[in-house]
């Protein structure tokens, strides 16, 4: 941290505006802040005040007027606009193994084809259905980081080629992941815990929808859609990679609606970190997702943008220029100018249950900012007669709170752990009226 700059900024911030401008304090602080006393004051946009100043006092006005307004703010300024479900989409079940994982689950692999052209990127969906549970079963779905084969040490999962970026050589290449990566992320997918409670678990690889680097869109659904639209450049409010991943989750849900093993009305969308940002956006846009779960989603996810703590709009736009729409760049260092904030993204899940989770050592993601989003989504839930997090202050570590809006901060690092899954499964059971 550049302490000279920080001191100057702190000094300038306490001066009258005219003096502050002389000192150059109108420029955004470039530093990362981990000091709660330096967060500064901010005013959150009120989810219950419409653009024309009308106060929202009932659920109907929220649904008909205010919710569409907030959704539009996120579309226009952050995530961009996503296309409709492709008319020519097809599902091909490419493999079924009824005795997967030692007979505990049926494994299905489904290729989702977005169009008939050979350059239409295939999305490969992996689905495990617990054999012991009566069908149809509820399901959890999330986007995985490095391929379907990383979520379980299951030799039957197809290893698929994916475009990857080498940061050292600054080159991209189409690679088949090695066998040694099978089951690599097993700790983040508590399959047996989910099966024991009767849930299916499904996942899609991020690289199938969009490889995660600045130029990756050329190999994903955004490049394909752009070409189909006859354009060569994205509009400032066209979707970014997070929009694309979220869209992929909705297309997986389209498939669930055709699979008699899955109860498509009880699908939980869940994601970690950048995929937590994705899960929140998927749930906001697609109300068919029954529960929305954000695990350590941080900046651009559950964390309030206006808090100067951990990652900032400036940092995220610089490091991941492809995640959000081009319009979002104007808020780099100017989060206070955003016409919305992330508590309103959480509120877009209302009245459906939503769960926000943080990790104590994950300061980059700003745990307090995540909690405050969950808390400040509460007034929207109250319109529906539902309780939000139910507490004013951040709870102690490992003490989950909340009814329809769940929240916990657990000990440990930025990750998805068994502890997180236990809370999510319990939360889903409670809201789906299961496990009594």
274 binds ligand GCU (CB under 6 A): yes
Smallest gap, in angstroms, from Cβ of residue 330 to ligand GCU? 19
Contacting residue, 220, 283, 298, 402, with ligand GCU by CB under 6 A: 298
Closer to ligand GCU by Cβ: residue 190 or 416: 416
44 or 314: CB nearest ligand GCU:
314
Q: Which is nearer to ligand GCU, 210 or 259 (CB)?
A: 210
Report the site for ligand GCU in 59-78 (rule: CB under 6 A).
Answer: none
Number of residues that bind ligand GCU (CB under 6 A): 8
CB of 28 to ligand GCU, least distance (A): 17
Q: What are phi and psi of 143, to 5 degrees?
A: -85, 135
Q: Is 124 in the site for ligand GCU (CB under 6 A)?
A: no
Q: Which is nearer to ligand GCU, 20 or 314 (CB)?
A: 314
CB of 314 to ligand GCU, least distance (A): 12
* Least distance in angstroms from the C-beta of 360 to ligand GCU: 16
User: So which residues are the catalytic ones?
Assistant: 273, 414
Among 150, 203, 273, 278, binds ligand GCU (CB under 6 A): 273
Would you say 132 and 83 are in contact if contact means Cβ atoms under 8 Å apart? no
Is 299 among the residues that bind ligand GCU (CB under 6 A)? yes
Distance CA 341, CA 198 (A): 36
Q: Which of residues 302-361 bind ligand GCU (CB under 6 A)?
A: 311, 316, 319
Q: Which of 179, 341, 105, 166 is nearest to 126 (CA)?
A: 105
Residue whose CB is less far from ligand GCU, 96 or 319: 319
Residues that bind ligand GCU (CB under 6 A): 273-274, 298-299, 311, 316, 319, 364
């Amino acid at each position: 941290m550049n302490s000279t700059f920080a001191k100057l900024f702190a000094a300038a911030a306490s001066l009258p505006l005219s003096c502050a401008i002389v000192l150059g304090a109108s420029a955004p602080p470039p530093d990362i802040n981990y000091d709660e006393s330096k967060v500064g004051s901010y005013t959150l946009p009120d989810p219950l005040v419409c653009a024309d100043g009308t106060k929202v006092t009932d659920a109907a006005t929220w649904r008909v007027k205010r919710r569409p307004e907030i959704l539009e703010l996120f579309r226009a300024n952050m995530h961009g606009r996503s296309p409709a479900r492709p008319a020519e989409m097809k599902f091909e079940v490419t493999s079924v193994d009824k005795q997967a994982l030692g007979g505990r689950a049926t494994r299905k692999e489904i290729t989702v084809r977005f169009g008939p052209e050979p350059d239409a990127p295939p999305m490969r969906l992996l689905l495990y259905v617990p054999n012991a549970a009566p069908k149809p079963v509820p399901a959890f779905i999330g986007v995985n980081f490095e391929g379907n084969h990383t979520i379980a040490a299951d030799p039957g999962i197809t290893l698929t080629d994916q475009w990857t970026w080498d940061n050292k050589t600054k080159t991209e290449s189409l690679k088949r992941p090695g066998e040694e990566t099978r089951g690599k992320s097993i700790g983040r997918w508590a399959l047996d815990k989910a099966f024991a409670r009767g849930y299916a678990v499904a996942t899609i690889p991020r690289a199938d929808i969009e490889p995660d680097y600045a130029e990756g869109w050329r190999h994903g659904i955004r490049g394909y859609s752009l070409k189909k639209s006859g354009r060569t450049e994205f509009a400032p409010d066209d979707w970014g990679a997070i929009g694309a991943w979220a869209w992929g989750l909705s297309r997986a849900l389209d498939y669930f609606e055709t699979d008699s093993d899955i109860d498509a009305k009880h699908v939980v969308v869940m994601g970690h970190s950048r995929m937590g940002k994705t899960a929140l956006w998927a749930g906001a846009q697609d109300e068919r997702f029954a529960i929305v779960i954000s695990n350590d989603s941080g900046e651009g996810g559950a964390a309030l943008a206006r808090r100067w703590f951990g990652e900032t709009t400036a940092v995220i736009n610089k490091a991941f220029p492809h995640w959000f729409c081009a319009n979002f760049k104007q808020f780099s260092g100017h989060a206070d100018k955003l016409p919305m904030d992330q508590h309103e993204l959480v509120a877009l899940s209302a009245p459906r249950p939503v769960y926000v989770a943080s990790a104590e050592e994950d300061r980059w993601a700003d745990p307090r900012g995540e909690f405050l989003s969950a808390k400040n989504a509460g007034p929207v839930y109250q319109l529906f007669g539902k309780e939000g997090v139910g507490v004013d202050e951040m709870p102690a570590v490992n003490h989950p709170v909340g009814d329809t809006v769940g929240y916990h901060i657990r000990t440990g690092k930025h990750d998805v752990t068994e502890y997180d899954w236990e809370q999510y499964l319990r939360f889903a059971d409670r809201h789906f009226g299961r496990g009594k």
